[in-house]
Structure 1
Amino acid sequence: MADLLNVVARMRALEQGQAVRIVSQRQVLIQPGAQILTMLSMAGEDTSVHAVAVGRLGVAPRIKVVADPRRRDDQYELLRWLLPHFETYYAQCRAEGTFPQIWVSSDGALGHLDTLADRLRFTDDQQVQRLGELWTYAGERSPIAGQQALISATSALTAHFATGQQETEDEHLGALLTWIEPPPGRDIFAAVAMAEQQPMGAKTDPRFDADELQPAVASFNKARKDNDVRAQDFHAGRIQQMMEGVIRPIYTATQKGMAILSDPRWQHNAALVSLGEQEASNFARFMEARDEGHRLPYHDSAKAAAFKIVARERTVDNVEAAFVRHDHAARERGAESGTVLRGTLVDRQKVRLAPRIFETRMVLSTAQDSLHLRAGDELWHLDDPKLCIRVTEVERRGPISWVSAIVDKGKRAALQLDIGNVLDLGPENPDWGATVREFAQMHTRLASAPWTHAEVVPPATPSSRPRPNDLLAAVERLV
């Protein structure tokens, strides 16, 4: 049903010829000093940086281009040029008790940065290693639900708008911005087709590469081989102008996306406050580990991987619980998909079980046709965290479902509810400290590996019971 809402929104955008808003609250936390990082790699060299533009919202970019990033010395010079910028930014975030945030144009650019961070950590240049370590914080956070460290402008915008094109086409930032703010008096598809002519990812256009860039790089390398300094500088200047013509529009489009999401029309979202606090805590631990000299491995050990899997799973639950409480659109999607029970209170009784022992029972009715409920499920009142019910029975009568439940917590709050009240019930309030507790429990359990994962097989321990004469008959009797 949530997918149906997305389809309806896209159909409305297609009908109007303009993107439509699908939320009223901000879905991403924009840091005041968030950095915009735009990088272009050379075709066939996914771990290279041919040109880079870096800056902040409302600030002109600082741009640096290398004529041929395949030369390691030139590539390292560009990366060393970036290091002081991020060292200063990270230090400022630590001093303020917050976290760094990097904005890139699209998911493709995000993947390019993540790949670079992995590779740079294992170079033989300490400054380049340091830059790789700093970028690794953002790269490792990128797949975590609700993370705010590495933001793709296309992902952030599509969380707020629905367009009249395919979801994969939304990954072109220029086309996406054209849907959001279409030029007046022009056909939307003609405008989008024009916007798509400009690259918006981490790669340049193949025709541009073949017709312009490759000949210029070849001429530069020939001049360097001939030791012709004047020609070398000339061709390097040509490459600089070419790459700036590609990278500036990408940087500007990313700025525009941030500006749209910074607009006051977006309402406050309390869920983002908790996510920001968690991000700041993770960043502080990451930098403390770097200060203590702990290296970042290329591959996690089995134990580290287990810890990360647990953290990701717990984070998914916490983020969903936070948004369903504080985000109107998320709650509506939950009600449509059936993960949130939206029921009308039709009966409430206080039953005496024994002297001084009472039980509060409730019955709710709902017309939701895709409800995901079964006996034993615990549901919490999304507007009153004190109230929790345990489902005892779900009965379908025609178009209406009747949900019987016992109040586990918040009995006084339950008795204050009026018959006819509409309640939204869903997952428990986010427990951000649960991950730490699970880590402590896992650390104790993993201190000694089970024999199934050990190198030495323990000796067999024969049973003290006598062996039955007919083993098959004894097993069948167990069944």
Structure 2
Amino acid sequence: MSLIATLARLEAVESGRAQPAATVRHRHLTERPLVLVPLTTAGEAGAPLGALVGTDRDAPRLLVVPQPRDRDLRSAFLAELADVVLPYIDTYADAVEPAERSETDPETGKRVKVEVELCADAPQLIVPSRPGIEFVRLLGRSTRFRRTAEQDPETPHPAPPRVPLFGRWLTHYAERARVPGSALLLALTDVLSRHWATGQSSLEDQHLGALLAWIDPPEGMLGAEAALRAGTTRDARGQLVRPAAGPATDPAFDNQLLAPAIERYDRARAAFAAAEDGVEADDRLGLVTAAEQQIRDLVADVTRPTWDAVWRGLDLLRGLPEGAHAADRWTRDRWSFTGHRDRVSAGEPPQPRRDDAVTAANKLATREREQARLEAQEALDDPLVMAGRRLAGEAFAGEVVDVVMAYSEGKRPSPRPLVTVRTDDRPYLGERVKVYRSLGGKPQSAEFVGYETLPGAGKSDGADDSDGTAPSGGDVTSAQDLDGGDVLVVLRIVDKMGRGKEPEAGSVPEKGEIVCFTLFEHEQRGGAKLPDPEETPWTHGGPPGEPDAVPLPDPTTPEDIL
């Protein structure tokens, strides 16, 4: 946790209200997201009890499994959920726009640009909290390999045709949610926690009602009091007034309301199955319908407060202006959505249960690269985030007090102007360390030359007492070596100045200009290219599908037995 985040939490405790942790919204929100509030059965992993789902905040669709242990009822729930999610996804699959993508020419081996289709927008899925993402991943894993009657007429429990496709999309969204900065599948508590700091722990922030109570407490009430009321207040029946639905249920709800209702439903179904004539069957069918309706009412009562809280949280997020780089990250999400759409259309098999070595390594490298890119972009978009990097010595800002034109040595000298920046930050700079600033959306590099102390400021070891200037790129390796107060940082600009002998207009900071340089790179470089899966060495599992790729252990001999 950064110092800025710690200070924000302390201020939230003192003021009784959540403090801003960002000045802009760092995640893209579509105009029409699909909100999913799932509910699971306690004690049985992956057994859905119900869900509220839809794109209209005033008209959600309620899906219920009256007996979660019944395989047929669970399959019907999944099919009904697929009938809601897949048409929503399909509305984004056909609207495309032309785009360019770099590919390797198979004949020449060179990278060339080809024109392809890119979906103009992508469907966005919102769940209340982080466990909701895990539930989506579990649903995808349990449904994408389901066999349909068309695929296997002899399968004992055939799935409806759309369920395996539904599982493939859920798996893709769950995998994409692991990529830092992705917005295809968002847990609202994580997004809110990124933009506001509360006076409670990060675990308590996963309760959406308590989190919103800190961000927007009722009038005349402090955040801590409102959060406590949101998480613990119960009605006359002993039930939570604002259930978490996260997606686990409250034990009091399970024991006092849900279990008796399911038991009545089971008895009604057993009586209906034992009916001997039509009249008796009609009467008992009414009992089954009434028992099922009671379970539906219970699920609706539990999920509706969370449904309303999700839309309230989205309203708060939409009140923040979107960060400049959020659209670029959303474009990468659109590429991801388009690629999976093309794989599904091409009839490729579903995602494997376990990735091969090359795929797993590529995924890990991508996530590490995107994490570094996200941290850099958030700092560039948000002065509050950049302040945390400045306090950590990873960036510095100040006023340009002098610009001296200089040139490199060689047959064709290039401009290498020296820029002196006055700053009160303490960056961790060493000899010839590179720093970067954003110039027209692209990073411009500079080299650290040395420090100069202002009149009356402390001097570092090895500084010249006559003029207070530290040796260029010499003994002083950190501004921490200097006493308090402003310092002068001398930098040498090395690129983004054009190809002429004189720098292009605007490419060199001018005297009096306020600039901000970072010690971290703005764009992350890709790692070494990994071999194709078919060329994976045997030490990493061998080519997929070859049983002899991994050598077998030596056979046991009599000498091996004591």
TM-score class normalised by the smaller sequence: 0.7 to 0.9
Structure 2 unmatched runs, 5+: 96-118, 148-158, 233-241, 274-283, 450-472, 498-502, 543-548, 552-562
1:214 alignment partner AA: A
- What is the rounded CA distance, in whole Å, between the counterparts of 1:251 and 1:195 in structure 2? 15
Contact 1:101–1:150 under 8 Å retained in 2: yes
- Tell me the equivalent position of 1:176: 211
TM-score if structure 1 supplies the norm length? Answer: 0.85
Is 1:167 equivalent to 2:202 in the alignment? yes
- What is the rounded CA distance, in whole Å, between the counterparts of 2:16 and 2:493 in structure 1? 50
Greater displacement, 176-185 / 62-71: 176-185
Match of 1:225 among 252, 259, 270: 270
Contact 2:421–2:488 under 8 Å retained in 1: yes
Q: CA deviation at 1:127?
A: 2.6
Which secondary structure state, in structure 1, belongs to the residue aligned with residue 397 of structure 2?
strand
Q: CA deviation at 1:421?
A: 4.2
- What is the rounded CA distance, in whole Å, between the counterparts of 1:251 and 1:70 in structure 2? 25
- 1:127-186: CA deviations, max 9, x gaps? 321211111121011111100111111111122222222222111111111222212234
Is 1:442 equivalent to 2:486 in the alignment? no
Contact 2:124–2:183 under 8 Å retained in 1: yes
- What is the rounded CA distance, in whole Å, between the counterparts of 1:134 and 1:254 in structure 2? 22
Contact 1:34–1:57 under 8 Å retained in 2: no
Match of 2:425 among 352, 355, 368: 368
Q: CA deviation at 1:193?
A: 2.2
Match of 2:302 among 236, 240, 246: 246
Q: CA deviation at 1:109?
A: 1.7
Is 1:195 equivalent to 2:230 in the alignment? yes
Greater fraction helix? 1
- Tell me the equivalent position of 2:23: 24
Which secondary structure state, in structure 2, belongs to the residue aligned with residue 357 of structure 1?
coil
The structure-2 alpha-carbon separation of the partners of 1:192 and 1:442, relative to structure 1 and needing over 3 Å to count, comes to same
- 1:385-408: CA deviations, max 9, x gaps? 363113353353334666554432
Query: What is the aligned-residue identity percentage?
Result: 25
1:409 alignment partner AA: D
Is 1:381 equivalent to 2:437 in the alignment? yes
Contact 1:42–1:203 under 8 Å retained in 2: yes
Which secondary structure state, in structure 1, belongs to the residue aligned with residue 493 of structure 2?
strand
Is 1:290 equivalent to 2:337 in the alignment? no
Contact 1:47–1:115 under 8 Å retained in 2: yes
- What is the rounded CA distance, in whole Å, between the counterparts of 1:285 and 1:45 in structure 2? 34
Which secondary structure state, in structure 2, belongs to the residue aligned with residue 353 of structure 1?
coil
Contact 1:40–1:204 under 8 Å retained in 2: yes
Greater displacement, 72-81 / 328-337: 328-337
Alignment of 1:1-400 (within 5 A): 3-56=2-55, 58-96=57-95, 97=119, 98-124=121-147, 125=159, 126-186=161-221, 188-197=223-232, 198-200=242-244, 201-226=246-271, 227=273, 228-263=284-319, 266-294=320-348, 295-345=350-400, 348-351=404-407, 353-354=409-410, 356-358=412-414, 359-364=416-421, 366-369=423-426, 371-384=427-440, 385=442, 387-391=444-448, 393=473, 394-395=477-478, 396-399=481-484
Q: Considering only aligned residues, what root-mean-square deviation do their CA atoms show, in Å?
A: 2.7
Alignment of 1:382-461 (within 5 A): 382-384=438-440, 385=442, 387-391=444-448, 393=473, 394-395=477-478, 396-399=481-484, 403-411=489-497, 412=503, 416-419=508-511, 421-426=513-518, 427-430=520-523, 441-443=529-531, 448-449=535-536
1:219 alignment partner AA: R
Q: CA deviation at 1:232?
A: 2.3
Structure 1 unmatched runs, 5+: 458-479
Aligned residues: 447
The structure-2 alpha-carbon separation of the partners of 1:360 and 1:189, relative to structure 1 and needing over 3 Å to count, comes to closer
Contact 2:144–2:165 under 8 Å retained in 1: yes
Which secondary structure state, in structure 2, belongs to the residue aligned with residue 442 of structure 1?
coil
Contact 2:389–2:395 under 8 Å retained in 1: yes
2:260 alignment partner AA: P
Contact 1:345–1:418 under 8 Å retained in 2: yes
Which secondary structure state, in structure 2, belongs to the residue aligned with residue 258 of structure 1?
helix
Greater displacement, 65-74 / 378-387: 378-387
- 1:46-70: CA deviations, max 9, x gaps? 2121111111253321102121111
The structure-2 alpha-carbon separation of the partners of 1:386 and 1:305, relative to structure 1 and needing over 3 Å to count, comes to closer
Contact 2:54–2:84 under 8 Å retained in 1: no
The structure-2 alpha-carbon separation of the partners of 1:49 and 1:372, relative to structure 1 and needing over 3 Å to count, comes to farther
- What is the rounded CA distance, in whole Å, between the counterparts of 2:27 and 2:56 in structure 1? 15
TM-score if structure 2 supplies the norm length? Answer: 0.73
